[in-house]
Structure 1
Amino acid sequence: MKQVTASGQTVNDAVQSALQQLNTTEDQVHIDIIDEGKKGMFGLFGAKRAIVKVTIKEDPIDQAKIYLKQIAHSFSNDVDVDVKRDGQNIRFDLSGEKIAMIIGKRGQTLNAIQHLVQVMLNRHTNEHFRIIIDAEGYRERRQATLEQLAQRLADKAIKIKKHVALEPMPSYERKIIHSILQDNHEVETYSDGKEPNRHVVIKPLL
């Protein structure tokens, strides 16, 4: 966290001095006025300089990356984090050794890490960011698996003429199932249960 305490004849002078020292602009900082100062008699006698503390705002995405690195390094010190930002969508890509441990069975560990980072990010900003954490292309492979699973279980629901419930999944994985089957006119899908056990149900249209 970069911050400086500066003084000036007025609050504005003190702020400008701090901004110059930090080499930044006013919209990038938090300003705390420690002392508003006093002009004094005739502008000279009893004058007191204004004092401010100016702190550069922390980038919540940078903070999330640091937090993610700390978690990843508990599995392996050889993990790199690459960040891609598209508006409010943030993607963190992990690479390195022991990635399988970070992914976990059916991505459960990776999903848990993603949840932790999302919660941390929500606490540090009022903006609504949607994050995805991937590890060496796992998400794409998982999506292909979910697409195959959706089609297979839809066929099963149609054949046995009964509802088929899938295993609990995070919301973005449930969306994949809903999306794949939305054009299948022989079934409909809905989510049931409460987190973390919320799951997709495939209902045959009799």
Structure 2
Amino acid sequence: MKKLQSSGKTVEEAVRNGLVQLGVAEDRVKIAVLEQPSKGLFGLIGAKDARVELELLPDGVEEASAFLQEVAAAMGLSVTVEREEDVDGIRLNVQGADLGLLIGRRGQTLDSLQYLVNIVANRHSDRHLRIVLDAEQFRERRRQTLEALADRMASKVVRSGKEIVLEPMTSQERKIIHSRLQGNPNVKTFSQGDEPNRRIVIAAK
């Protein structure tokens, strides 16, 4: 845990000086006042500045990013991790060469890493974090693939009148299929089975 001592004419100034050195906001540190300021004799002789100690609190997302880089290094990959906020929560975008190994077949490795990253992040956070892990824009490409699949299967159900059961998918992928077809007046969707073999069924209305 990183700690830093700083001083100033007042406790508030000492804290500000320390925050500047650490480059973080006040909510990222634990503050301990080591010494109150004193004016000294006649306000001049023996005057002392305030002295504080700032302890940098762990950041769940930073811990998750570090964990991810360690895992990638163990796989022989050199990656950088970019953080961004979106409607789904916090997105960590992994960049580097040969990320196919990190993504895995149909994103299975990426999904497993996302699960672990969320565990690490929430272990080091006092609020619940939801992290989406992505690499080489796989999530967007997978979404487009699933939406195209949903459209094709819906058309097939309408033509044949028979329901279609899709392959097992994660809850995140099932949500994409449901969302894509919820406005379709000719078909309905529902899930059946237990994880990890839960599947979507597309049926005629």
1:74 and 1:162 map into 2 onto residues whose CA distance is 48
Shift of the 157–136 alpha-carbon distance from structure 1 to 2, 3 Å rule, reads same
SS of the residue 1:122 aligns to: helix
* 2:19–2:26 contact (8 Å) kept in structure 1: no
Deviation readout 1:138-162 (Å, 9 max, x if unpaired): 2222111101111111122233333
Shift of the 101–134 alpha-carbon distance from structure 1 to 2, 3 Å rule, reads same
TM-score by length of 1: 0.73
Partner in structure 1 of residue 196 of structure 2:
196
Partner in structure 1 of residue 72 of structure 2:
72
Matches within 5 A, 1:116-135: 116-135=116-135
Instruction: Give 5+ residue unaligned stretches, structure 2.
Output: 34-51
* 1:104–1:110 contact (8 Å) kept in structure 2: yes
1:142 and 1:22 map into 2 onto residues whose CA distance is 42
How far off its partner does 1:188 sit? Answer: 0.8
How far off its partner does 1:170 sit? Answer: 2.0
Shift of the 191–120 alpha-carbon distance from structure 1 to 2, 3 Å rule, reads farther
Shift of the 193–118 alpha-carbon distance from structure 1 to 2, 3 Å rule, reads farther
> Which amino acid is the alignment partner of residue 168 of structure 1?
P
Mean Cα deviation higher: 116-125 or 17-26: 17-26
1:176 aligns with 2:179: no
1:203 and 1:184 map into 2 onto residues whose CA distance is 11
SS of the residue 1:110 aligns to: helix
Partner in structure 2 of residue 148 of structure 1:
148
How far off its partner does 1:31 sit? Answer: 5.6
Deviation readout 1:101-150 (Å, 9 max, x if unpaired): 11111111111111111222222224233322111122222111101111
SS of the residue 2:112 aligns to: helix
Mean Cα deviation higher: 72-81 or 146-155: 72-81
Partner in structure 2 of residue 63 of structure 1:
63
* 2:146–2:177 contact (8 Å) kept in structure 1: yes
Partner in structure 2 of residue 165 of structure 1:
165
Deviation readout 1:151-203 (Å, 9 max, x if unpaired): 11112223333332222222221111111111111111122233322222212
